[in-house]
Amino acid sequence: MITSSPSKIQSIDPATGEVWREYDSATPQQVQAAVAKARAAQKNWGPAPIRERAMVLRNFFDALFNRRMEMAALITRENGKPAAEALIAEVIVSLDIIKYYLRYGPLWLRPQQLPHQNLALKMRRAYVHHVPLGVVGIISPWNYPLMLPLGGTVAAILAGNAVVLKPSEFTTAVVLETEKLFHEAGLPEGVFQVATGDGSTGAALAASDIDKIVFTGSAATGKKVAAAAAEKLIPVVMELGGSDPMLVLRDVNLDHATSGVIWGRFMNCGQSCVAVKRVFVEQEIYEPFVAKVVEKVNRLRLGPGNHPETDIGPMIRERQVAILEQQLADAVAKGAKVLCGGKRRPDLGPFFFEPTVLVDVDAEMKVLQEETFGPLLPIVPVRDIDEAIAFANATPYGLSASIWTADLKHGRALSQRIEAGAVLINDAVSHVGACEAPHGGAKASGYGRTHGRDGLMEMTRTKYLDIDPITFLRKPWWFRYDANLLQQLNRFADLLFSRSLWARLRSVPESLGLLRRKTWV
């Protein structure tokens, strides 16, 4: 942990509003020092055998597994989500990611022999190496304070990089506990460091001497991070906002789809990038669909996340509640109707907001134009699936989407028409927990991928190695050029590419003449 700045950040329990911890905010100079320390540590960590790197991560896996309930309780305390969600969506998914990379990562990182296609290169041996980048800077959000940063961190460390992580100032304690577990696992000093602080700390990290940035957050902040990276010509992985559509077809199982939309919208109190944000239902089933959703939403239990029976916890901070209220007020002023919820619950705590279902929504309202980050569900009827797809694509975002139908073949065909990084059929959100699935978006939802093989490769640089064991024979394409060489190369092109068997056979003598050239310099 990097400390000793006079600026303070606070950890607040969202369920009570209590300030329960304070932390120093790292200065730009301290961030630069951390990056320098990481670079020095990486010089030893990167060349270490992968089995040694994997052993440290296996120790970390064991430590996290043994303290899984403690970590889940800490996430609930600092983020507010129900204990069950903290365990399944954060800790268990993180353990699965580590297990997955430990199983497949060493294989993927192994040098791979690459056969040459061209006849002129057949005697050479070629290899593709995936080498560490160096120092990776990760800037992570508060809504999944363990799972989101850990996926990139584990991939980076296994690949031989050092990591400097700037967590959200709202969820500092979770990441500092993660740092503690890494140290207990035997990770060398400097390979993983946490830079605590607010947005200015993240800006200092983006501007420092790092080799890659992994950023998760808003599109507005993402543009600033990308601009800072562009100044240094370093690559970036961007996982930005989403306004994920859910398309409900007339043949759907209503009970299944309504339960799915409620979880997909309201889990983590609606504060998920990949949450269902807009629902488009074919007209024939719109009214029974809405009625069943409202009936089920009214049964959800709102309360502190540390109560085992709680379904929905508090929002993270006052500013998030205020933004949600502005979006809801805009919709109501323009004619939308609230069917349930729609107000704060100060009797429970300062940041509680009821799960809300909204109808009579149109495209002019903020709830369909902006990302809604809270427990607000707009439901829109559509004439047919073509109108639903038009609505789904009518947004700058393209993180994920879902299609709900009994006709899986039809659903799969429709998925190709939706502009998103992931499309789920008859489920939503849960693909983020699939460790093998590459996670990322399209359009303004970002670029690059985390998780899966793609996520590991993001943490490497591809390096090509080519070995020619024949040292007594000079290359026929070396100097000096003449008319005879031009003719021989022309015939060699016939040998390689002509569709005529006769032309290829006829070209053999002159092509072989390339090997007998005497005019080399």
What is the torsional sign of CA 62, 67, 73, 74? negative
Cis peptide upstream of residue 480 (ω within 30 degrees of 0): yes
Q: ∠376-380-381 over CA atoms, to 5°?
A: 155
Token digits of residue 240: 């930005």
What's the burial of 139, exposed, middle or buried (CB within 10 Å: 0-12/13-18/19+)? Answer: buried
Catalytic annotation, pick one of 177, 273, 370, 419: 273
At residue 177, φ and ψ (nearest 5 deg) are -70, -35
Catalytic annotation, pick one of 85, 90, 169, 239: 239
Token digits of residue 56: 């440290």
Distance CA 289, CA 300 (A): 17
Catalytic status, residue 273: yes
Q: Residue 274 in contact with residue 242, Cβ under 8 Å?
A: yes
- Cross-strand pairs, 185: none
Residue 213: which of 448, 453, 47 has the closest Cα?
448
Q: Indicate the SS3 state at residue 159.
A: coil
Token digits of residue 348: 């429970």
Residue 91: which of 122, 70, 112 has the closest Cα?
70
DSSP conformation class of 119: G
Q: Can you count the helices (H) and strands (E) in the chain?
A: 19, 20
Distance CA 371, CA 275 (A): 10
Q: ∠52-54-59 over CA atoms, to 5°?
A: 100
- Residue by residue, DSSP assigns 266-308 as HGGGG--TTSEEEEEEEHHHHHHHHHHHHHHHTT--B--TTST
Residue 481: which of 452, 508, 519 has the closest Cα?
519
Catalytic status, residue 295: no
> Looking at the annotation, which residues are catalytic?
239, 273
